[in-house]
Structure 1
Amino acid sequence: MTSETINSLFPSTISLIVTSLFGLLVGILVEKFKNRLRIITYEIYTQNLKPDLSPSLAGKIQITLDNRVIHSLRTIYFKFENKSNVDLENVAIKFSIGPGAFIQSGEGYLSNDSSWLKWTESHNTFFENVLAEYTNLPVDESGKKNISDELKNRINHIYSTQEFLVPVFNRNESAHFNFLLEDPLDGSLANLLPSIVHKSVKLERKIDDDKAAKQNLWTAVSIGTIIVIIVLSLMIYSNPPQTILIIVAGIVGFSYSIIGYLILGIYKRIRAFFK
């Protein structure tokens, strides 16, 4: 076999090897994550129940709960979506808040059939035990109950944590939760944080559509640039005398996408201006 024949076969051999390795890598990744990594996204919306007013007006407004004045009360709404391609079972969603804040109430339901969601069995049992122990405490002469530090900690845990069970979380279904939250007395805003401990399930906060579109755009540009570089390198290796022409053609071709992106941006700005 002559050297010319070997040189003519060498680029195609490299291309075949690269393609095979790329296909193998993609196959491994698909097999690894297929039906294993399930994504549940969530959104948070908060609203203050006490409006921000001037001191003269705000002093005339009070929020009471069980005959107790509350200085800061908020509603927090969560929306969870099953973005995976499989249906999930027995998904426990836990909500926790920092010290000094209290979860006054909470509820959850599924979007498809509007069925109400209940606490997990462990959380409900913990609540019932604490409630029974507190109820059975004797009352002293002043009408007060002597609560131990250990019981106080468990009561605080009830006010700072709630755990709901989603028996069946179908694909593309959403679960909704509403909470009534009392912030700490120091005026700070507490964060109510969700968490899920479930096999092969990952919880992610949903990003807005504009941010997602920009992220996808730069991802596509990066992948396209890598592919162009690989293709140009193979072409240059196959035809060394045409190196400059190949590079110029690649730059010109890549510039078309930039020009197209700029034209699209100008078009969107003009359309938004005349809306």
Structure 2
Amino acid sequence: MPIVVTGATGQLGRLTVEALLQRGIPAADIIATGRDTTRIKDLADRGITVRRADFADTDGLAEAFAGADRLLLISASVPVGERVANHRRVIDAAVVAGVSLVAYTSTTHADTATTVIGATHRETEEYLRDRGTPSVLLRNGWYLENYTSQLPQILRNGAVVGAAGDGRISAASRADYAEAAAVVLSAEGHAGAVYELGGDESFTLAELAAAISAATGEQIAYTDLPVTDFAQVLATAGLPAELAEVLADADRGMNRGEMHTDSGNLHHLIGRPPMTLTEALTAALHH
């Protein structure tokens, strides 16, 4: 049952490969792909098949997926404007390869989300359905690492800055999302499923600030800005203008509840409680 993992050069992809191995999938049955295969040479050294796959290269994708039975399509990163076209090429190549199941990392409530990111995921989900390939939608919520990676800056500034208002966020760790992906790729009975994935405990950005205060002993506040002002703050911090606008727009979606789920799907899939915000903060601070 050869399983292809796209984006294995990225963090979520690599963690999924590791999770597949931990679930007993033989290395010989895993095909790890990415644009720069030198970054995953160590996986080849462990007996995993490593192939180059560039989402913009149709012919190369067909070669990368040859012989595969199942495929994990990890959504492409920016530029957002090219995302859907890239995803369609991957799905088309999977169909040509005769893949029996495509698992796609989408976003929470992709069918109703109003964000720019949500729209790209919705279009990809619709294309998957149109192609008729058996699929499972892994609607991943926000990453806890999106916040823990910002801890040095948050502590320097004494504030969490955002535009999410009182919106609740169901975040989880990349490792937990990767484990869920490994479960659906390596077991039967998931075709056609739509999983809304997130942590068991949701939080607002004000609660995030309070949790950081409790974990560090520093007084951290939450500064809520209008979306356009938050985009400007991100751009001033050095992010490209398009990415700054997309991330600020994501906060707008959070304010509308688009990053909140109480489905319990992640807990159910991985068979244990996902990592909590407090656990993530503790781990990051003692890293």
Q: Which has the larger radius of gyration?
A: 1
Taking structure 1 as the reference length, the TM-score comes to 0.21
Answer 1 or 2: which has greater strand percent: 1
